[in-house]
Amino acid sequence: MSAADEELLPKVYLLMDCNNFFVSCERIFRPDLEGRPVVVLSNNDGCVVARSAEVKALGIKMGVPVFKIKDEIARHHIVCFSSNFNLYLDISNRIMRLLDEISPEVMVYSVDEAFVVLREVTAKAAYSTACRIKKTVERYVGVPVSIGIAASKTLAKIASHHAKKNACTGGVFSLLERYERERILQLYEIDEIWGIGRRLNEKLRAEGYRTIAQLAAADGAALRRRYSIMLWNTVRELNGFDEIKELEDTHQQQQIMWSRSFRERVTDKDGLSEALCNFAAMAGKRLRELGLFARLVTIQIRTSFFGSEPKYAAARSLALDAPSADSRVFMAAVNLLLDKCYQPHHHYAKAGVILSDLSPSRRHQGDLFISEQSDEDIKRSQALMALLDKAARSGSRHTLYIGAQGQLAQDKRFCDKRLLSPAYTTSFQDVPKLY
């Protein structure tokens, strides 16, 4: 046991990353698919959004349209699933609750990633905790995970990536040792760094930076002058300094967008209205989950970019009198905007609703000529939205909905999911049966 193993570290980050998360969720209830190639498809089953390791080995890329790989799907007997987001979110919540039981400091980064913060621990203790997390999640939830250990979030992301790509690590890898850190950073290129986008990657490569180790050894002050403090923080993080104190707060989210391509072209205004109202309902639900209010509503409609039919696209926005989280308000705005931009005799292929100018409060700079909502109206609105959200969580979304959503709320013609797996964990009707 080295002295470094016994040194007490003030703060250590563990980055838990679920392996092929959507696919892993499907395999929990279909163990017969273990070892077989599996893909999860986007809404309307159009593109590949998740791949098993077996599919990645076949060279099938993320985001590829399904029609382009039909031959490969048949040749390799690839199993396809429609996106079952209710299932994935429920499994994610179960995993995050397990993490909360292990550490009081858990920072959820995405549906399949979370940072666990450990304080005043040794490197050995941190590694043991990471192994315990991996074993606990895989045993009690059934999703395989990889865990990276480091003194900064950026390094923890790299360590997790290395653990996932190298079976010899056993799914857990630490970059707390300086020697190990210097060795590993030479293996990966800068496009693997958390927060380095395509444009910045191109600029840094033009300056001769290829590997992460090269960037870690760079003059951070000079990079800060030429680029930004964000890159300076990244360089510091690569050297083991904890510079990214907080993950992006949900209240700082700029907008919530809900859009879909139609399974069948929509030609009438009523059909577009129903679709847009459904999108407004889903965007409103997400807004309330984040505890936010929106002041600006935008709709987008367009025909297909392909084919010989006339092309048309339009977008319109409306500022509300006051920030709102009521889906009925958004639907009323949607229909006003549709009146302004709808054109007949077109075959519409896609539509969307965007909620923006977000804030954590309904308070705003008042207008002398606009009457405020009464407290009673606000309470009624909140109660109704809470009831709708509860129905959606229980799987009753298609039996309880706002009238403006129309028949589309029930048959979901705007979203084709022919390969959808059952709602194993959120609907009593779909609970797996044992015989």
DSSP 68-135: GGHHHHHHTT-EEEE--HHHHHHHHHHHHHHHHHH-S-EEEEETTEEEEEEEEE-HHHHHHHHHHHHH
Amino acid making up residue 271: G
Q: Let me know how long the chain is.
A: 435
Q: Is 194 found in the same domain as 173?
A: no
- From the CB of residue 398, how many other CB atoms can be counted at a distance below 10 Å? 14
| CB neighbour class for 9 (10 Å; exposed up to 12, middle 13-18, buried from 19) | middle
Q: Would you tell me the crossing angle of helices 229-238 and 153-165 to the nearest 10 degrees?
A: 60
The answer to the question of residue 421 being in a domain is no
The answer to the question of residue 94 being in a domain is yes
Q: Are 320 and 294 in contact (CB under 8 A)?
A: yes
Read off the pLDDT band of 367 (50, 70, 90): very low
Indicate if the pLDDT at residue 335 is higher than 90. yes
The neighbouring-strand residues paired with 15 are 115, 148
Write the pLDDT tens digit of every residue in 216-257.
999 888 888 888 888 889 999 999 999 887 665 433 567 888
For 118-122, 127-131, 146-150, 319-323, which range has the lowest pLDDT when averaged over its residues?
319-323
Q: Is 157 found in the same domain as 8?
A: yes
Q: Is 164 found in the same domain as 30?
A: yes
- From the CB of residue 384, how many other CB atoms can be counted at a distance below 10 Å? 14
The answer to the question of residue 112 being in a domain is yes
Top pLDDT among 405 and 427 is at: 405
Q: Is 49 found in the same domain as 6?
A: yes
Q: Is 10 found in the same domain as 159?
A: yes
Write the pLDDT tens digit of every residue in 1-16.
455 567 899 999 999 9
Q: How many CA within 13 A on the CB side of residue 197?
A: 3
pLDDT value at position 253?
Answer: 60
The answer to the question of residue 320 being in a domain is yes
The answer to the question of residue 432 being in a domain is no
Top pLDDT among 171 and 3 is at: 171
Q: Is 102 found in the same domain as 37?
A: yes
Q: Are 351 and 298 in contact (CB under 8 A)?
A: no
pLDDT value at position 249?
Answer: 45
Top pLDDT among 25 and 403 is at: 25
Last residue in a domain, options 202, 229, 247: 247
pLDDT value at position 289?
Answer: 87
Q: Is 129 found in the same domain as 40?
A: yes
Q: Is 24 found in the same domain as 161?
A: yes
Q: Is 190 found in the same domain as 133?
A: no
Q: What angle do CA 332, 406, 339 make, to 5 degrees?
A: 40
Amino acid making up residue 147: I
Indicate if the pLDDT at residue 48 is higher than 90. yes
- Cα 148 to Cα 156: distance, rounded to the nearest angstrom: 5
pLDDT value at position 329?
Answer: 95
- Cα 189 to Cα 198: distance, rounded to the nearest angstrom: 13
- Cα 328 to Cα 391: distance, rounded to the nearest angstrom: 16
Domain of 341, in residue numbers: 250-411
Domain total of the chain:
3
- Closest C-alpha among 245, 241, 114 to residue 178: 241
Indicate if the pLDDT at residue 414 is higher than 60. no
Indicate if the pLDDT at residue 18 is higher than 90. yes
Q: pLDDT averaged over the chain?
A: 87
The answer to the question of residue 431 being in a domain is no
Average pLDDT over residues 60-64: 93
CATH number of the domain within which 381 lies: 3.30.1490.100
The answer to the question of residue 3 being in a domain is yes
163-167, 201-205, 411-415, range with greatest mean pLDDT: 163-167
Top pLDDT among 431 and 197 is at: 197
Q: Is 209 found in the same domain as 308?
A: no
CATH number of the domain within which 214 lies: 1.10.150.20
Indicate if the pLDDT at residue 397 is higher than 60. no
pLDDT value at position 366?
Answer: 45
- Closest C-alpha among 119, 130, 143, 49 to residue 419: 49
